[in-house]
Amino acid sequence: MLHTCLNEYVALRKATGFCFRVPEGLLRNFVAFASARGDRRIRGATAVRWAAQTRKQAQRRKRLLEVVRFAEYLHVEDPRHEVPPRDAFPGAYQRPTPRVLTEDEIVRIVKGAADHGRPGSLVGPTYSTLYGLLASTGLRLSEATGIRFADVADDGLVIRETKFRKTRLVPLHPTTLAALTSYLAKRRKLASDSDYVFISERRVRLSRWVVLDTFKTVAQRAGVARSPSGGLPRVHDLRHSFAVHALERCPFGRDRVERHMVALTTYLGHARIESTYWYLEATPRLLKDIAAACEAVVAGDGS
């Protein structure tokens, strides 16, 4: 019964535009756990026990809240489904502070990636081009690794049905396009049944986890310092850095700022402009600019 309910719930969420890949995986794991215990409907105690299987408090809370939303949906039609207590694992989610890489750090990472892998293989050019593309476009990793030959156009990259089931055109700077074109000339010489632009040595689409691990290795070899918390840079920091640097170049003036924010939101593939506003708190320079703009408005000098 729970399996049927979950299929209906997943279909509904996807129909409303959600990718829902990670929540679906979590909920299918929960339903299997609950069914093995003989539960035909959601029970709060089962949900809490399932969520508690992970060690980290934040992960426990995340897992439980997915079940809570699922239970609330089912409870409307069938009150016998128990809605688990939201506060079983207290503690608000804290979005990690973005690591903003400097231009020099990015250059060292991209150059260092070129030396990764066996000499003469396509491994080095693949990772060097991939990381350079992420840094110069702010693409999500899944978007970049999902690019196929047909998605590379004269006026940019066609990013198809991504996180929010939207397709968008991402224009490329001439230098980025030149680097990508140079890599494609090498990539097309490699015989492969795959039409993905970025492939592994096994000639299939790059694995997300391999790309993440390789990035840490390359960053460490390139001498990029760890963050104040002690962690190595992450691939997603390239997207953070792109967004922050783009905001730092934002023109002054309310109308121009609004247009800049809307354009950046579209370029990054955000569903809501609020997601782009979050980057405004990323660096002292941006916070200082915001404070100065607020003072100007209060003083009557802002437009």
pLDDT tens-digit profile of 35-64?
999 999 999 999 999 999 988 888 899 999
pLDDT tens-digit profile of 291-300?
454 445 445 5
* 167 in Cβ contact with 160 (< 8 Å): yes
Q: Is 236 a catalytic residue?
A: yes
Q: What pLDDT is stored for residue 164 in this prediction?
A: 56
pLDDT band at 287 (very low <50, low <70, confident <90, very high): very low
Averaged pLDDT of the chain: 82
Q: Is 279 a catalytic residue?
A: yes
Q: Is 140 a catalytic residue?
A: yes
For residue 163, the tally of other CB atoms under 10 A from its CB is: 16
Distance (Å, rounded) from C-alpha 34 to C-alpha 210?
33
What is the separation of C-alpha 166 from the centre of its chain, rounded to a whole number of angstroms? Answer: 15
The burial of 74, by beta-carbon neighbours within 10 Å (0-12 exposed, 13-18 middle, 19 or more buried), is given as buried
| Per-residue CA distances from 6 to 2, 28, 30 (Å) | 6, 8, 10
Distance (Å, rounded) from C-alpha 93 to C-alpha 166?
27
Distance (Å, rounded) from C-alpha 106 to C-alpha 102?
6
Helical segments of the chain, H only = 2-15, 21-36, 44-51, 57-77, 103-114, 123-137, 141-145, 174-187, 208-221, 236-248, 254-268, 273-277, 284-299
Out of 99, 140, 187, 240, which one is annotated catalytic?
140
Alpha carbons within 13 angstroms on the beta-carbon side of residue 48 total 12
Considering only the top CATH level, what class is 95-303? mainly alpha
Q: What is the pTM of this model?
A: 0.64
Q: Is 189 a catalytic residue?
A: no
Out of 81, 99, 234, 239, which one is annotated catalytic?
239
Show me where the domains of the chain are located: 2-88, 95-303
pLDDT tens-digit profile of 227-278?
766 678 889 889 888 877 777 766 554 455 556 556 666 656 655 555 554 5
Q: What pLDDT is stored for residue 193 in this prediction?
A: 87
Residues paired with residue 157 on neighbouring β-strands, in sequence order: 152, 170
Distance (Å, rounded) from C-alpha 107 to C-alpha 112?
8
